[in-house]
Chains A and B, each alone.
Chain A
Amino acid sequence: MSIDPRDDLGPGRRGLLGGAAAVAAGLGLAGCGSDGGGEGEHKARRKGQKITLTFWSWVPGIDKSVDLWNRENPEVRINLEKVSAVNGAQYAKMHASIKAGNPPDLGQIEYPVVPSFLLDNGLLDLTAYGVERHRGSFVGWQWQQSVFGKGVYAIPQASGPMGLFIRRDLFDEWGIDTPRTWDDYEAAAKAVRKRGSWIETFSTTNGNRFAGLAWQAGARWFGTAGDTWTVGIDDEPTRKVADFWDALVRQKLVKTIPDRQNAWYKDIQTGRMAAWLGASWGDALLAGNAPKTAGKWRVVPMPQWRKGEAAYANWGGSTTAVFSATRYPADALAFALWLNTDPRSVKLLIDGGYGFPSVKSGFDLADLDVRKDFFGGQAYSEVFAEAGRGVDTSWQWGPAVDALYQRLGDAFTAALDGGGSFRSVLRKVQGQTIQDLKDKGLKVAAA
Chain B
Amino acid sequence: MRRPTRTEARAARTAALFLLPFLALFALCFLAPLGYAIQQSLLRVERTGPLGLGGETREVWAGFANYSHALHDDGFTAGFARVLLFGAVQIPVMIAFATGLALLLDAASARWVGFFRTAFFLPYGVPGVIASILWGFLYVPGISPLHEMAHSVGWDIDFLSRDAVLWSIANIVTWQFTGYNMLVLIAQLKAVPTELYEAARIDGANAWQVARYVKLPLIRPALVLTTVFSLIGTLQLFAEPMVLRPLTNSIDSGYTPNLHAYNQAFTSDNQHIAAAEAVLLALVACVLSFGFLRLVGQRPRRPKAARRGTPVRRRARGGAR
* A-to-B contact residues, CB < 8 Å: 35-36, 87-89, 91-92, 95, 99, 116, 118-121, 125, 148-149, 151, 203-205, 224, 226-229, 256-258, 261-263, 266-267, 399-400, 402-403, 406, 409-410, 412-414, 416-417, 436, 439-443
Q: Kindly identify which residue among A205, A403, A441 contacts B267, using a CB–CB cutoff of 8 Å.
A: A403
Minimal beta-carbon separation of B205 from chain A (angstroms): 52
Decide: A204 near B249, CB < 8 A? Known: A119-B53, A148-B53: yes
Number of interface residues of B (CB under 8 A): 41
* Docked pose: A15 CA to B140 CA in angstroms: 55
Q: Nearest chain-B residue to A148 (Cβ)? A: B53
Pick the interface stretch among B15-23, B39-47, B206-214: B39-47
Q: Is the CB of A205 within 8 A of B246?
A: yes
Report chain A residues within 8 Å CB of B140.
Answer: 261-263
Report chain B residues within 8 Å CB of A149.
Answer: 50-51, 53
* Docked pose: A400 CA to B45 CA in angstroms: 15
Decide: A409 near B253, CB < 8 A? Known: A92-B269, A403-B268: yes
Q: Which 4 A-B pairs have the closest CB atoms?
A: A227-B50, A92-B266, A403-B268, A441-B47
Report chain B residues within 8 Å CB of A226.
Answer: 50
Q: Is the CB of B252 within 8 A of A410?
A: yes
Q: Is the CB of A87 within 8 A of B242?
A: yes
Q: Is the CB of B53 within 8 A of A151?
A: yes
Decide: A118 near B53, CB < 8 A? Known: A258-B247, A263-B143, A440-B45: yes
Interface: B318 (CB within 8 A): no
Minimal beta-carbon separation of B76 from chain A (angstroms): 12
Q: Is the CB of A440 within 8 A of B52?
A: yes
Interface: B114 (CB within 8 A): no
* Docked pose: A410 CA to B45 CA in angstroms: 26
Q: Kindly identify which residue among A118, A261, A262 contacts B52, using a CB–CB cutoff of 8 Å.
A: A118
Among B50, B55, B250, the one with the most A-chain Cβ atoms within 10 Å of its Cβ is B50
- Additional A-B contact list (18), CB under 8 Å, known A261-B246, A442-B51: A89-B266, A119-B57, A149-B50, A149-B51, A205-B245, A205-B249, A227-B50, A227-B51, A258-B246, A258-B247, A262-B136, A263-B143, A406-B268, A410-B252, A416-B249, A440-B47, A442-B47, A443-B52
Report chain A residues within 8 Å CB of B45.
Answer: 440-441
Minimal beta-carbon separation of B275 from chain A (angstroms): 13
Minimal beta-carbon separation of B268 from chain A (angstroms): 4
- Encode contact with A along B236-277: 1 for CB under 8 Å, 0 otherwise: 000000100111111011100000000101111111010000
* Docked pose: A100 CA to B266 CA in angstroms: 15
- Encode contact with A along B54-73: 1 for CB under 8 Å, 0 otherwise: 11110000000000010000
Q: Kindly identify which residue among A95, A257, A403 contacts B249, using a CB–CB cutoff of 8 Å.
A: A257
Interface: B319 (CB within 8 A): no
A-B contact pairs, 28 of them (CB 8 A): A87-B266, A99-B271, A119-B57, A121-B57, A148-B51, A149-B51, A151-B53, A204-B249, A226-B50, A227-B50, A228-B51, A258-B247, A258-B249, A261-B247, A263-B140, A263-B141, A263-B143, A266-B143, A399-B52, A400-B269, A403-B268, A409-B252, A413-B249, A416-B249, A439-B69, A439-B270, A440-B47, A441-B46
Report chain B residues within 8 Å CB of A417.
Answer: 162
Report chain A residues within 8 Å CB of B249.
Answer: 203-205, 256-258, 412-413, 416
Minimal beta-carbon separation of A171 from chain B (angstroms): 22
Minimal beta-carbon separation of A270 from chain B (angstroms): 8
Minimal beta-carbon separation of A403 from chain B (angstroms): 4
Minimal beta-carbon separation of A307 from chain B (angstroms): 33
* Docked pose: A400 CA to B267 CA in angstroms: 8
Interface: B175 (CB within 8 A): no
* Docked pose: A120 CA to B267 CA in angstroms: 15
Report chain B residues within 8 Å CB of A441.
Answer: 44-47, 52
* Docked pose: A400 CA to B263 CA in angstroms: 12
Q: Is the CB of B52 within 8 A of A119?
A: yes
Q: Is the CB of B50 within 8 A of A402?
A: no
Report chain A residues within 8 Å CB of B50.
Answer: 149, 226-227
Report chain A residues within 8 Å CB of B254.
Answer: 410
Interface: B86 (CB within 8 A): no
Minimal beta-carbon separation of B160 from chain A (angstroms): 9
Q: Kindly identify which residue among B51, B143, B267 contacts A88, using a CB–CB cutoff of 8 Å.
A: B267
* Docked pose: A416 CA to B263 CA in angstroms: 23
Interface: B121 (CB within 8 A): no
Q: Nearest chain-B residue to A88 (Cβ)? A: B267
* Docked pose: A441 CA to B43 CA in angstroms: 12
Q: Is the CB of B269 within 8 A of A121?
A: no
Q: Nearest chain-A residue to B66 (Cβ)? A: A439
* Docked pose: A149 CA to B141 CA in angstroms: 48
Q: Is the CB of A263 within 8 A of B247?
A: yes
Q: Nearest chain-A residue to B269 (Cβ)? A: A95
* Docked pose: A92 CA to B269 CA in angstroms: 7
Q: Kindly identify which residue among B51, B143, B263, B273 contacts A224, using a CB–CB cutoff of 8 Å.
A: B51
Q: Nearest chain-A residue to B56 (Cβ)? A: A36
* Docked pose: A92 CA to B54 CA in angstroms: 20
Enumerate B191-247 residues with CB–CB distance to A below 8 Å.
242, 245-247
Q: Is the CB of B247 within 8 A of A262?
A: yes
Q: Nearest chain-B residue to A441 (Cβ)? A: B47
Q: Nearest chain-A residue to B141 (Cβ)? A: A263
Report chain A residues within 8 Å CB of B297.
Answer: none
* Docked pose: A89 CA to B267 CA in angstroms: 8
Report chain A residues within 8 Å CB of B56.
Answer: 36
* Docked pose: A417 CA to B251 CA in angstroms: 12
Q: Nearest chain-B residue to A118 (Cβ)? A: B53
Interface: B142 (CB within 8 A): yes
Q: Is the CB of B265 within 8 A of A92?
A: yes
Interface: B292 (CB within 8 A): no
Interface: B300 (CB within 8 A): no
Q: Nearest chain-B residue to A260 (Cβ)? A: B246
- Encode contact with A along B108-143: 1 for CB under 8 Å, 0 otherwise: 000000000000000000000000000011001111
Among A99, A125, A261, the one with the most B-chain Cβ atoms within 10 Å of its Cβ is A261
Report chain A residues within 8 Å CB of B265.
Answer: 92
Decide: A121 near B54, CB < 8 A? Known: A258-B247, A262-B247: yes
Report chain B residues within 8 Å CB of A120.
Answer: 57, 269
Q: Nearest chain-B residue to A436 (Cβ)? A: B268
Minimal beta-carbon separation of A276 from chain B (angstroms): 16
Report chain A residues within 8 Å CB of B273.
Answer: 439
Report chain B residues within 8 Å CB of A409.
Answer: 252-253
Report chain B residues within 8 Å CB of A148.
Answer: 51, 53
Report chain B residues within 8 Å CB of A403.
Answer: 267-269
Report chain B residues within 8 Å CB of A36.
Answer: 54-56
Report chain A residues within 8 Å CB of B250.
Answer: 413
Decide: A442 near B52, CB < 8 A? Known: A262-B140, A410-B252, A413-B249: yes
